[in-house]
Structure formats: structure tokens, C-alpha cells
Chain A
Amino acid sequence: MPAFITYNTKIRQTMASLTCTKFTLLAAAAILLQITGLSLFVFGFFPIRPALSGVSGPESFRPPSASCDSFEDQNFTALHPDQLKSLYQVLHYLGLDHVGHLGGRSSILMGPKLQEMDEVIKMIHLSTIQTQESGHGRTLLVVVSDHGMQNNGNHGGSSYEETDSLALFIGPRNSHASATDDTINQVDIAPTLALLFGVPIPKNNAGHLIVDLFHPIEDHQLLRVLELNSWQLLRLLQAQSTDSTCGSFICQAVKKDYSSGLDEYEGSLEEISSCLYLDAAALHRSWKSKHALRSASNDDLLCTVLAYSEFLRTASKQLSHRATDKPIGLLASGIMAMLLSCAMLLGLLFKLDKEIYPRREPSLSNLQIYKFQLAEVLAVVVMVVIVLSMGSSSLVEEEQYLWHFMTSTFFLVLLRQTIQSTKGGDLSNLLNSSMGNGNRTCIQLCSIAVIVISLRILRGWHQGGVNWTHLPDISKSLEMAGSSCIKSFQLLSVVLVISLCLYALSSLWSKSYIIIVIELSYLCAGLLVLQYVIKYQGSGIAASDNDASLAARLIYAFLVMLTTGTVIASPWVLSFQNSHTDLQDLTSNFQSMDLSLLIKDSLFLSGTTYMFGWCLLQLLLQQPVNLMPISLLLIQILATIYYASHGGADVKQWIEIAALYYLGMAGHFSLGNTNTLATIDVARAFIGISSHSTVLSGLIMFAITYASPMLALLSMVMSISMKDINPLREANMGQLFKMILGFPCLVPLALNSLLLVAYTIILLLMRNHLFIWTVFSPKYMYIVVTTVCVLVGVLIVASTVTYIICASVFLGRRQYKDHNSCVNS
């Protein structure tokens, strides 16, 4: 504890409160738990299975090299791709699905549509018959439907009606008609088609061929297709087995039953399948030698086919299970860890809220509690709504509407709260801005008006989403209006950001030449960006242009140096400037005033530096049409901080932080991002990079995509600087840290962990949903990266504030000592 604080006798009454160290340790433990849980879940849910690379080639007509089978018969290539020159044509007929969606199974449009389809198939079939008759080749016509539908036309689930679909194979050997109502797996279609066409089976396919479809077929050809499929599956099994040496495929399983015709084995699945393969291969060999001697019986053939089918079935099942089975223990422990971490963070948040805003006596606070509940309740409701909506794929696709709707409702409730806090009959005060209270309310109302208006403009900037992307929006109309229009908006936003930056820096309490130097360097950075925007953006010059990339690199270096330099130097620079005045008038309570102001000023300077450094970087990186949204986002965030700083005790700090977080999330979508991977701007991630570097371009891609949440997180340093920080009022340094860093760190962490854990559970529940890979998994990726963004942002905020307070206290102590020695002498 610093010496000059010891005289402070007013120790805050904190009953059963956590000390700062405990608090920090718990929060750090929660974060570590979250990271561990997340990694466990991600590696359990998205397992990395070794897959064979490349496409299948002629090697698929040879036995696997690692096989212990010595069977070599290169002459037996009845179905070589060169022999069958196949021409593929894929026709996707969409109308039936659409009719189903419009009117269900029994729609009046269904009959005519089916008839139309029949006509199309008839037409194709007639033309294939013609070509066959004229001897131009053989055609296989395959009609498959990818799903059925429920009575109301919906599909995507796994009910009988939804998976009841058709597979019709019309080939040249149409003498054989077999109708089967058995269940076949989708994975079986690929090997069947490949073998019917006489081309290699895809390397990583886990299905086995549908033997029925090959009839009528010569015996040796039937065994050949079974053999080819077996080789392909064996290769895949070998690639995926844990030790892919030849030895593992020696039959290690024990024969269980010798009596029955087919061998049954006991042992691990891998061992069983290798034994089955060896059996089938041996039978095949013996059949072939008998066939050559013309002594092969029908039983021999049947035995071989059965042996191959058994192997194929086992291997296919084993491979499918590997692809779909989830390690339950891993997933459960991951989710438990994330749940625990979420509960810890929320618990800490409640504890902190209770400690900082102790409930007053009921007689006094009845009104007070009621008054501020609505905004707090809504802040929680926002999260509940977002979490609930994530279970529906349509709402995940259109998440931007939800964030905008909830965030604007939140701010409208804050508006109502502000009006509420004016006493009845205060209309004159409200309108008459000369009075203190009225002035304050007026400022608050104006800031909320600015926030909601810019929120609405941002919502209209990019339509976003999946279903309503075609609707007109501002970015489309700007692009229609031409590049000069976009250019003027770009210039306007750059000028806006620079002027806001200079205004913010000039509102610092201390005025000295160093501040002017910082202002000038920011002006310089802004002008560099302006020059880059004018010269290189949208003018058709490629980003790979040498001058452009050099200029971009110069701006990167300048911004990074300026930001880190200012943040590190801020307490020293400001205290140096303060000490000049202090030596002249040595007032008795200079430490208290000075230290508080020094901390606030340094924090404000650092916060401004972070925000504007980030904004200038974004002006450089974002696509031209997004520059205006960046400046609007900046205005929103500044207005929120301004609103809260004029709200006094009426606006709880955690409400402010939650508002900033929501603005950041709503802004994420207004920069044109969606929950699909298509909107990630990969091209702009190579600005200023001369050689290909995955790490650097990944960092830039992250900066472009997460511009808005990161800006909101970085703005928390400035928001902290607006609070009443008095190091001498707190019992100790720990208490001080807890008071000012508690909410800015905990609120984003807790809100994000809530989203993360809820979405993890939803992803697990939706694992069999039709849209798991198109909607839910990309969204999960975004959520995971948002978590990374929040962690990085909180780390930056916490370390900056800690550094500045420690440095300021150190400086204050030194000044105090200097002052004492001065007085003594």
C-alpha cells in the first residue's frame, strides 16, 4: 500500500466482500475454464479425421499397397474408365420443392408439377433410347429426390415422410426391374454410381455399393465391383486406423463360430473388418482358380459375394460411425467447464453489483428500485431473446434484425428512464437549458437521439442476412450512384473521425505542448489515411500496387507506434506537466486532486488513442462503402459514453457497459457481416502485405470483421476515465481496481460466456439438423471468434488501466516525497 494512502481512515464498509486478489483469481480461473471447455468441445465436435488427399485415379483398380494380400492381377480391368467414355449431365429440378413449401404435400399445384416432371423424364428417356438404338453409346438415367416432405411441405428432419424419397435407375440393361422399399443410405449412392459408370470411387467415401442395381451382371464382373469397393474402403480404413502398419491388418480376431457357413469374429471392429476382408479375398482367389478350371460352383460364388458384402457392410458402418459418433465424455466435460465458467462470471457480476450498489432501505428506495429496473431487466431480456432465437435457423440467418431491434428498444427504454428521472412539472427545466438539471437531461436526450438515429442509419446501410439481401439499402444505392458519391462519403467520414479525435484530445483537463504534439501526430496519421483513401481506394489501382502497399505499411507502423507510445507515456507525460504547476503552489491537498486528475487524464488520453487508432486503421482497411458506418459507430459509442457521464448515479455502470457491448454487436452486422462465411472480406486482408503470410492476413481479416465489437471494447478505457476515480477514498489499491475495472471486464465476459455456452448447447442439440453445416456451424465459428475478440479486448483494457493506475500512483508517491523534502529543507 502506498505510504500516502495510509492516512486515509475512511474504510469502506464492505461486508463479506471479496478482496481484489480473490476476485481477479476467480475471474482468471473462469476465463481459463472457458478456454479449456471451448477447446475440448471444439476438438470433440469437429474431430480431425485423417482423410485421403486428392482424387481417385487408376490406383483404385489395384489392391491397397499396405494390404498383406499378395493378389496381383492387372489384366482384370473390366470396368476401366478409358473403356467407358461417360458424359455427365446433372439436372436440378427445383419446382417440386417450391410447390411443397408453398402449399404442402396436397397442394393443387402438386399434380401439374409432377406431370411436368414426368414429361421431362419421358423426353430424356426417349432421347436416350434413340441414341442407344443408333448405337452411339449407353446412357444411365438416374432420378433421385434429395428429400421427402411433411404434409405441410416442411422438411429437414429425419421423420419417415421427410426421408421418404425416390431413387430410379434406368439403364441400358432394362430387362431387369427391381423395386425395393428398403432403406438405403445416401453415402451408398456415390460408389454405386461410380461403379455403374466404371469410374473410380471417391477416395473418402464411406458407403458400399447397392448390389441389386447391378443385375444382370456376369459373375466375374460382380466379384470385380465388390472387390473394387472393398479395396477403396480398405484404403480408407488403413488411412484412419491408429497405427496404419501392415501388421495391424493381420487377422487378430478370434473365430467365434466355426459351425456356420459365414465366419463370425470377436474382437475390435478394425480387427474384424480386416479378417473379413482377408476371408473374402481368399474366397475370391479360390473362386477364380476354380473358374479358370471351369469347376466353380454356384455356392462358391454365393459364398464369395456374401463374404464381400459382409466386409463392405462392416467397414462402411465402422467408417460412418467414426464420422458421426461424438466423443460424449469430451463434449460433456467441455460443456460443463463452460457452464461452470459462465456461472462463475455471472456470480461475480451479481456480487459486484450488490457491493457497489447496495440496496438502500426500503422506505427510501422503493421508488428508486422500481425506477431503474426496466433498463436492467431489458439488458437481461436482450440476452435471453438472442439466446432463444439461436435455436431457429431462420433467426440465425437474420440475426442483424434482432440485434438492431433489441438494441434500439434498449436505448428507447433508456430514453424513457431519462424522462422519468426529470421530476413531474419539470417541463420548463427540460426545455430551459440554462438550468443545471435541465441541461443535463437535455444532453442525455440529445445523445440518445443521436444514438438511435445512427443505429437506424446503420441498419439501413447493409440489408444483410440471407432472405432479404435483395431489398434496397444504402450501400447498394451508393454503389449505383457511382464512385464519386462513395468517394465523397469516404472523405466526409475521414474528416469526421479526425475532427472528433482532435475535439476529444482538446477536451483533456491538462493543456500542454505535449498534448499539442499528440494532436498533431494524430492529425498527421489522419492525413496519411486521407491521402491513401484519395489516391488508392476505389480508383481502380490494385491493392498489390507497390506504392499503395508501401503507404499502407507506413500507416500501420505509424499507428501502432503512436498508439503504444502514447499509452505507455501518458502518465509520465501528464505528471511531468503537472509537476511544473505544483512546485509553484504547494496546496495541502494537492495529492488527492492531482492523483485523481492524473489517472483520469491518462486514462482518457489512452482511451482516445485506442479508439481513434483503431478507427483510423479501419478507415484504411474497410471497403470504401463501409467508411461512413465506421464513423457512425464511433459517434454512437462516444454518445453513449457522453450519456452515461452525464447520467451521474442514475445510470449504473454495468448498464453502460452492456449498452456499449450491444452497440458493438449490432454494429458488427451493420458493417455488412452476416452469419455465413461468404461475407468475410478476404481480398482486403492483403492490404499492405507484399508476400503471402497467413498469420498477418489472418490478423487483418480479424480486424476487418471484428471492427465493431473491438471498437466497443476499446472504448471502455475512455468510459472508465469518465467515472469518479478517487484513489484516496478507497481502502486500498485492490478495492480501487475492483471498483473501476470490475464491471468493464466482467460484463462483456459474462454476456459473451452466456452466448457461448447457450450456443454450444444449441449446436449439440442441432447436430442432426439439415442446416448444421450451412447455418449453425458457421455461426458457431463466429461465436468462437467473438469470444477471442472479447478476451483480447478485456485483456487490453485491464492491462492498460492497471498500468496507468500503478504508474500514476508511483508518480504521485514520488511527487509527495519530493514535496516533503522540499518543505523540510
Chain B
Amino acid sequence: MKNKKKGHNIKDITRGDAVVQNLSPSKVLLSHLICGIGLASSFWLAINIYSINLIDNPASTLRLIWLIEVPVVVLLYSLFRKDMNQSSYLKAVARGLLGLPVGAVVHALGAIVLGAPVGTQYFLRTLNWSLLMSTFTFVPAASVYGSSWVDWHRIFAQTKPIGSIDYMICLPAHGAVIGGWFGAWPMPLDWERTWQEWPICVTYGAIIGYLVGMLASFCSAVFRVSSQHVKGD
């Protein structure tokens, strides 16, 4: 019974994704490049225009980064919305924006459970950090899948992406979370460096993880295309 149901689901998904699944590697690369450029430009803006940086002004820099990254991600991923026939582009954008605070709450709770400091002086930092993390993880998924529990469950609980869109969402999101987890390691050490403070090194870890995830997603797209060619031959 369990297996039957799973098989049924998978078939459903493959049929549903038929339209968007054959996203070419170049498109995957392009969308990831846009996200990466958005991230880079936000850093450039912070340092050169506003003359702030992550180490000295973590809260305001984080705010700037997510403010620039959110529109890029929402507008980009809404193009790949799953139920293209039923919902409009605007609806997908609205879903993505709605996903932002929800994801922020989840990430903030997760961080606090793992030991992030609680207190009024850390409130803004935690808020902005969790909004940034939400931009990496929840926002694209919300834009593409909406409230489809099956898809969310498949991507985030089971980590079973099917098709390049799934990979584009799943791998960077997991990369960001795992990178952030590793980024927390230097925090308790007695090196007396300012970047050891919450959430600076965690943010660095998350961004590195996100970039690695995007790279992996692109590689998987290339690999899938080449293997399909082999199959076709």
C-alpha cells in the first residue's frame, strides 16, 4: 500500500513537471548566476555605497543583503512556478513574499534552539539573519510550489528532488543550512575575533554553502542532460 501510493505520487509529479522539467543547463546556470550576482552586488553596495560591512554592522548589512536578494529570487523563481496553468505569475510572487516571514520564523526558532543568543541586543541581528536564510530556502520553494505539502515534503523532509527545478531549490537551500551549521563552529572558541560573534560566521558559512549548492545544482543539470543523451543514443 505504501509503495503503491509512493509510485503513484512520483508518476504524478513527473507528469506535472513535464513542462518545466527539461530546463536546459544554460537556463539553470543563468538563474543561479542572477542569484549570485544579486548577492555580490548587495555586498558591493554595502561596502562601497553605504560603507558598512558584515563584521562591524551585521544587522544593517544583513538587511541590505536580503532586501536586494528577495526581489531577485522571487521574480526569478516565480517564472518556474509549478502549477503554471492554474496560477498567475503575480500569484507566485505573492506566495514567495508570504513565504519570507514564515521561513524567517522557522529559521529563527531553529537558530535559537541550536544556541543562538536571545536578548534585545541580538533581536535585530537574528531577525535579519533569519530573513536572509528564508530568502535562500523558503522563498524560492514558496514561489514555485505554493502550499503543496507533497512537494515541500519531498524537497525538505525526504530530499528527493526530481528534475532540475527541484534541484535548483533543494541543493542551494540544503547547502545554506548545512553551511550555516558548520559556520557556527568557531563561535565558542577563545580567539577574540569580532567575526566570531553571532551571526557573522554563521552568515558566511550559509552564503558559502548556498554558493556550493548552486554549483552542485548546475553540475547535476549538466550531468542529467549528458546522461539523457546517452540514454537517447
Contacts and interface: CB of A to CB of B under 8 A. Distances in A.
Interface of A: 101-102, 367, 371, 394-395, 397-398, 401-402, 404-405, 408-409, 412, 416, 419-420, 422-427, 452-453, 455-456, 459-460, 465-468, 472
Interface string B98-132: 00000000000010111100110000000000000
A416 B157 contact: yes
B189 A419 contact: no
A276 to B, nearest CB: 48
Interface string B173-205: 000000001001001111010000000000000
Given A465-B188, A472-B119, 6 more contacts: A102-B192, A394-B188, A398-B190, A425-B9, A425-B150, A456-B112
B189 A398 contact: yes
Nearest to A451: B113
Interface string B1-21: 010011001000000000000
Contacts, number: 67
A405 B184 contact: yes
Interface string B123-147: 0000000000000000000000000
B191 to A, nearest CB: 8
Contact of A419 (B6, B110, B157, B192): B157
B158 A420 contact: yes
A398 B110 CA distance: 22
B158 A401 contact: no
A425 B157 CA distance: 12
A394 B189 contact: yes
Nearest to B112: A456
B5 A468 contact: no
A320 to B, nearest CB: 32
Contacts of B158: 371, 420, 424
- Which residue, A394, A424, A455, has most C-beta atoms of chain B within 10 A? A424
Contacts of A102: 192
B115 A427 contact: no
Contacts of B187: 401
Contact of B2 (A420, A423, A452, A456): A423
A76 to B, nearest CB: 54
A102 B2 CA distance: 61
A497 to B, nearest CB: 24
B189 A395 contact: yes
Contacts of B110: 412
Contacts of B189: 394-395, 398
A367 B110 CA distance: 27
B188 A456 contact: no
Given A394-B189, A423-B2, A465-B188, A412 B113 contact: yes
Contact of A409 (B114, B150, B190): B114
B115 A456 contact: yes
Contact of B113 (A101, A397, A453): A453
Contacts of A459: 115
A394 B190 contact: yes
- Which residue, B112, B187, B189, B192, has most C-beta atoms of chain A within 10 A? B189
A408 B190 CA distance: 22
A394 B185 CA distance: 12
- Which residue, B113, B115, B157, B192, has most C-beta atoms of chain A within 10 A? B113
Nearest to A468: B188
Given A408-B113, A408-B115, A456-B112, A423 B5 contact: yes
A460 to B, nearest CB: 7
A420 B113 contact: no
B149 A405 contact: no
B154 A398 contact: no
Contacts of A420: 153, 157-158
A489 B16 CA distance: 57
A456 B112 CA distance: 8
Contacts of B119: 472
A423 B8 CA distance: 12
A422 B2 CA distance: 11
Contacts of A452: 113
A154 B61 CA distance: 33
A419 B154 CA distance: 11
Interface in B148-175: 149-150, 153-154, 157-158
10 contacts: A398-B188, A402-B188, A420-B153, A423-B6, A424-B9, A424-B153, A425-B9, A426-B149, A453-B113, A466-B190
A442 to B, nearest CB: 15
Given A423-B2, A468-B188, A405 B115 contact: yes
Contacts of B114: 405, 408-409, 412
A401 B6 CA distance: 41
A408 B154 CA distance: 23
A422 B154 CA distance: 11
A472 B112 CA distance: 16
A281 B154 CA distance: 89
Contacts of A416: 157
B142 to A, nearest CB: 15
Contact of B149 (A367, A424, A456, A467): A424
Contacts of A456: 112-113, 115
A452 B192 CA distance: 29
B9 A404 contact: no
Contacts of B118: 460
Contacts of B5: 423
Given A398-B189, A468-B188, A425 B149 contact: yes
Given A404-B115, A405-B115, A409-B114, A427 B188 contact: no
A445 to B, nearest CB: 12
Contacts of A101: 192
Nearest to A430: B149
A426 B190 CA distance: 47
B150 A401 contact: no
Nearest to A406: B114
A424 B149 CA distance: 7
B11 to A, nearest CB: 13
A416 to B, nearest CB: 6
B190 A467 contact: yes
Nearest to B5: A423
Contacts of A453: 113
A113 B120 CA distance: 38
Nearest to B184: A405
Contacts of A398: 188-190
A472 B110 CA distance: 21
Nearest to A392: B189
Nearest to B9: A424
A504 B190 CA distance: 44
A419 B159 CA distance: 12
Contacts of B6: 367, 423-424
Contacts of A402: 188
B160 to A, nearest CB: 9
A409 B6 CA distance: 29
B186 to A, nearest CB: 10
A465 B190 CA distance: 11
A424 B150 contact: yes
Contacts of B153: 419-420, 422, 424-426
Nearest to A102: B192
Contacts of B9: 424-425
A453 B113 CA distance: 6
Contacts of B184: 405
Contacts of A397: 190
Contacts of A472: 119
Contacts of B188: 394-395, 398, 401-402, 465, 467-468
A431 to B, nearest CB: 10
A425 B9 CA distance: 9
Contacts of B113: 408, 412, 452-453, 455-456
A405 B188 CA distance: 11
Nearest to B149: A427
A459 B188 CA distance: 13
B154 A424 contact: yes
B122 to A, nearest CB: 12
Nearest to B10: A424
